[in-house]
Every structure is written in C-alpha cells, then in structure tokens.
Amino acid sequence: MQWRDTGLGFGIVTIILHWVGAITVIAFYVLDAARIGGWQDNAGLWAPVAVCTAVLCAFRLFWRYLWYLPLPLPGVAPLTVMVARAVAIALLLSGVILPLLGWLEFHWRPEGMAGGMVRLLHRLGLLAAILGLALHVAGALRQQFVLRNRALSRLLGARVDL
C-alpha cells in the first residue's frame, strides 16, 4: 500500500492518522467538556491528551496540504463534497485551537475581559466542534447506508477503483 495520498486513494499514513486521531479527538472532547463543567479533576489526563490531539491534528493538516485529495466517489453532489471538506478541515483546525484555548484557560488563567473572552471562545469552540463531528459522522453514515458507496471502506484501507 502507498504511504502518501494520491487522487486515486488514501495512503497508509492518512488512514492510520484518521482513526488514531478520531479516538484522540473524541477523548479530548470528553475530557475537555468534563474539565470545563468541573465534573471531575482530570488535569493529569487532560494535558497529555490535549498535546496528542494538537500534534496529530496539526500534522494531519500539514499532510493533507502536501498531497492531492482522493477524488470524491461517483454520485456525491459537489455541494456535499464542498461542505464535507470544509467540515473536515474545521475539525482538524479545532483539534489544534481547542487545546490551545484550554491551555490558556486552565494554565495561564487570564483575568478580566481577556479571561472572559478565552472562556467564551473555548466553550463555543468545543460546542461547534462537537456539532461538526456529529455532522461528519452523519455524512459518513449517509455514504455507507444511503448512497451505499465505498467511502468508509476506502478509509479503512480497501482498494476502491475509481
């Protein structure tokens, strides 16, 4: 299997990073929400997961920029493709920005107006990211069960002839 992405399919690096990233990002959302809500003191776990999330997402953005994206599968409307790509990029960006906002809020602890802004942005950002993730998952399920194409298989490493 190829290591880099081409217009004909995903490479092994992207496939591994996608699934490892998915687990890390979801773990981060849960820990972040818990820490914001003050439900538990998870600072010891939050910090390493936040660092992993930020590094993974930053690398995936860089990797995505380096290579061509695989062609959309036949039958997917152009507008859907545009929205899906925008959501995917927004999710990766949020994986870099939210840990930074979290670090600012929990460790730098700014006061006054700046502190208020950071806390607001952090909460809104996390909410938007969770909604974006839900949209991303709904899109994947739609491809699998409504359009019945092989988008998911392609991200699991199956060779899909275009």
Contact residue for other proteins among 12, 16, 23, 71 (CB under 8 A): 71
Q: Is 3 in the site for other proteins (CB under 8 A)?
A: no
Contact residue for other proteins among 39, 74, 113, 146 (CB under 8 A): 74
Q: Which residue's CB is nearer to other proteins, number 34 or number 73?
A: 73
Q: What is the per-residue binding string for other proteins in 95-134, x denoting contact by CB under 8 A?
A: ----------------------------------------
CB of 67 to other proteins, least distance (A): 8
CB of 148 to other proteins, least distance (A): 17
Q: Is 65 in the site for other proteins (CB under 8 A)?
A: no
Are 56 and 84 in contact by the 8 Å Cβ rule? The answer is: no
Q: Is 86 in the site for other proteins (CB under 8 A)?
A: no
Q: Is 7 in the site for other proteins (CB under 8 A)?
A: yes
